[in-house]
Amino acid sequence: MTTGSRRAPKPSPRWRRHATANSNRVRTAMTASTERTAMMNIHTTAPLPPALKIAAALLALTLGACSSMSGPKLPERPQPSAETGEVDKGDPQARFTEAMGLWQQNQNAEAETAFDSLSRDFPDFAGPWTNLGILYAKSNRREQAIAALSKAATLNPNNKVAFNWLGILYRESGDLNRAQLAYEKALAIDPNYALAHYNLGVLLDAHLKRPLDAVAHYRAYQSLHGTDDLRVMAWIAAIDAASTPPAPAPAPPKPEQTP
């Protein structure tokens, strides 16, 4: 990774146009890579809905992504000119991919340092902020996580991963209304986002005591998840059973009218 500056001819206006276009492509690639990979580390810790007492604890829900971490290859960039005082911050896509590699190898401290450095050098890219927020959340730094994920959502209003994580963090902090809004925002961005359906269903069922509203999200999660989740199947069955009125009792026999 290059940290110092190299002398080069002053960039021409044409190079500046190419650099701007390249920066936009990098921004798009980093955001897309985050969408594919940040979900590998998403977990929920919501309690079981009260209608069910079928497990001692709710297993962590993980949605894995197996796609490549590498974004599109970028053309080589001319080095910034020392005459303008610019410092070469390296290739942001290469740095982002390197940070993701550290994270995948469970080198969380090193990954956090790399994402933090990226967020400082390229503060307008949502990807590093999203991943910083997830790392903060998973190490119980809720306020820092909310700040980083809020920044990511502001930079990229279509960042469903950031909104889903904000929902988790708001729920954990007891701000249930904001949690619901965050999950709903994630689903407005992507109605087929299975994880947000699951989390919103648990919120409505276990925390807001609205099991009938939760059922639709449980069913959507089951449909989108690809395989049947036995826990969710049991929750749906329990809610359906509780909401089904009992069959009327049989009428007593009529007394005989004749001796």
User: In this predicted model, what pLDDT tens digit does every residue of 24-71 receive, in sequence order?
Assistant: 544 544 554 454 343 333 434 444 444 433 322 222 232 322 222 333
Domain that holds residue 208: 191-243
- Specify whether 171 is located in the same domain as 200: no
Tell me what pLDDT residue 170 has: 98
220 Cβ contact partners less than 8 Å away, ≥ 6 residues apart? 194, 197
- Specify whether 165 is located in the same domain as 196: no
Looking up residue 104, the CATH number of its domain turns out to be 1.25.40.10
For residue 28, the 8-state DSSP code is H
Has residue 233 been placed in a domain?
A: yes
- Specify whether 159 is located in the same domain as 204: no
> How far apart are alpha carbons 59 and 99 in whole angstroms?
28
Q: pTM, whole model, 2 decimals?
A: 0.69
Q: Which of 89-109 are b and which e, b meaning 16 or more Cβ less than 10 Å from the residue's Cβ?
A: bbbbbebbbbbbebbeeeeee
H-assigned helices in the chain: 13-37, 92-104, 108-121, 126-138, 142-155, 160-172, 176-189, 194-202, 211-225, 230-243
Has residue 58 been placed in a domain?
A: no
> In the predicted model, is pLDDT for residue 188 greater than 70?
yes
**Number of domains making up the chain:** 2
Has residue 258 been placed in a domain?
A: no
In tens, the pLDDT along 199-240 reads: 999 999 999 999 999 999 999 999 999 888 999 999 999 999
Has residue 101 been placed in a domain?
A: yes
Q: What is the dihedral of CA 191, 206, 171, 230, to 10 degrees?
A: -50
Has residue 167 been placed in a domain?
A: yes
> How far apart are alpha carbons 198 and 183 in whole angstroms?
10
